[in-house]
Structure 1
């Protein structure tokens, strides 16, 4: 009799449990420069699969520190290999899951849709271009876009001209917003950011040799492993995601 009661209880518990004991959505921590493209991709993925995706955008440095502190992210896409290195060295990356997903370009933008082009070389008087205004950049010692931008300006011999006029922001989209609003006449952002904002113009492109390659590594984090997050990782390398990324100014590195 006791065995029958236990069997009935087990059946009740099993029936009451959801199909997936861990049914929370896939949570993605991604660099702020991915906001426009990744939002569109996630919406398409959700529509096609019924799997919910939660996106959290910020500077890669801030996201990496949140992951280190135990934030419940499933996937991390950084705009800089260094911050992914830090997460991986801490043992927070699922072994074998890391790969370079995207590339990008670094550009100088100006307020307005028809700003005059600027020549970027060692003879450029960038301070004169700024006048009394500010050069909007992401944090130059922490956020990838700022790190790349400072490196490029130093390589061109222009950093000394403008270092005192740099308005540093928490992430690259905040720098873009300053220029779009006219609060700063010039800014350094990614090409993908400039495409997403009609109120700015690209007035120059930084030569690739002036800064380290701009790479976006992706990794599945080691806190849990589900079919849903694997499906989204695979989707990010598929043809639908590729089309969105390329339309937003990224180069897709993984076939």
Structure 2
């Protein structure tokens, strides 16, 4: 009996040590949906370089922020909207000194593949609403940064009243893109980087940066930083990570 107890205690000790070892060789990355490809590529590259595993959680910035607020275990958070990062920071859930602008994006108007028309500035300003029938696919402005930026564009051009009952809100920007790919909507407003990756839509217009707030991706680490997380923060500054952002269409010029 005594020998059995000793074996159980030793097993629990080994299990505990194993868990600590696993936690040291693993981080959890929370990333906005619009940086899915970037997050996946950075994760693979980091794992290959360091042997540290990256668990990836992808959703809209708002959903991720709410998960963090509710106590979800994370190590690094990439938001597509500074306001959500500011919110998490106000709750003291990230290390303020690690908050950093990572990359920039812009909004574009898209149509299903097969429609090769390109719009000029005059057509957008004066006749955009007649360029499509049915509803306009955007991210849900209540939760999705891309949707909030899209609403800023709509207000910039004065389309609010005419589009009031024509929105097709999606739970994230990737779904907003999908609605246009599937032909469920004749027009959508999404991030340029997502549109560039799709083989089922055409970009018909690139909205000027002045039409909405600067679209910046902001990252930050949690307060309790492990050696693995410190390694990840250092890796984010590497030339390889900058290359990954750029080949996926993001702009880094103003942050270097």
Same fold (TM over 0.5): yes
Deviations 1:109-168 (A, max 9, x none): 11106521123456432332121x221100123311111111011111123222311100
1:196-248 Cα shifts (integer Å, max 9, x gaps):
111111110111111110111100012x3112112222222311111111111
Q: TM-score, normalised by structure 1?
A: 0.88
C-alpha RMSD of the superposition: 2.3
Contact 2:27 2:55 in 1 (8 A): yes
Name the counterpart of 1:177. Answer: 178
Aligned to 2:247: 247
Where does residue 132 of structure 2 map in the other structure?
130
Cα deviation per residue 1:64-110 (whole Å; 9 max; x = unaligned)? 01100001011111001000000000010113111111111111111
Q: Which runs of 5+ in 2 are unaligned?
A: 1-8
Instruction: Name the structure with the higher helix share.
Output: 2
Q: Distance in 2 between matches of 1:15 and 1:142?
A: 41
Instruction: Show the 5 A alignment for 1:1-255.
Output: 17-18=17-18, 20=21, 22-23=23-24, 25-112=26-113, 115-120=116-121, 123-131=125-133, 133-222=134-223, 224-252=224-252, 253-255=254-256
**Contact 1:81–1:217, Cα closer than 8 Å, also in 2:** yes
Q: Distance in 2 between matches of 1:145 and 1:123?
A: 20
Alpha-carbon spacing, 1:141–1:119, altered in 2? closer, same or farther (3 Å): farther
> How far is 1:37 from its partner?
1.7
Cα distance in 2 for partners of 1:23, 1:184 equals 46
Bigger shift: residues 94-103 or 13-22 = 13-22
**Do the aligned residues in 2 keep the contact of 1:138 with 1:145 (CA within 8 Å)?**
yes
Cα distance in 2 between the residues matched to 1:36 and 1:123: 33
**Would the aligned equivalents of 1:32 and 1:171 in 2 still touch at CA under 8 Å?**
yes
From the superposition, tell whether residues 209 and 23 of structure 1 become closer, same or farther in structure 2 (CA, over 3 Å): same
Identify if the C-alpha distance between structure 1 residues 25 and 158 changes in structure 2 by more than 3 Å, giving closer, same or farther. same
- How many residues are treated as equivalent by the alignment? 244
The CA distance in 2 between the partners of 1:135 and 1:148, in whole Å, is 14
Q: Structure 1: which 5+ residue stretches go unaligned? A: 1-8
Q: Which sits farther off after the overlay, 99-108 or 158-167?
A: 158-167
CA gap of 1:238–1:113, structure 2 versus 1, over 3 A, is: farther
Distance 1:113 1:20 in 2: 53
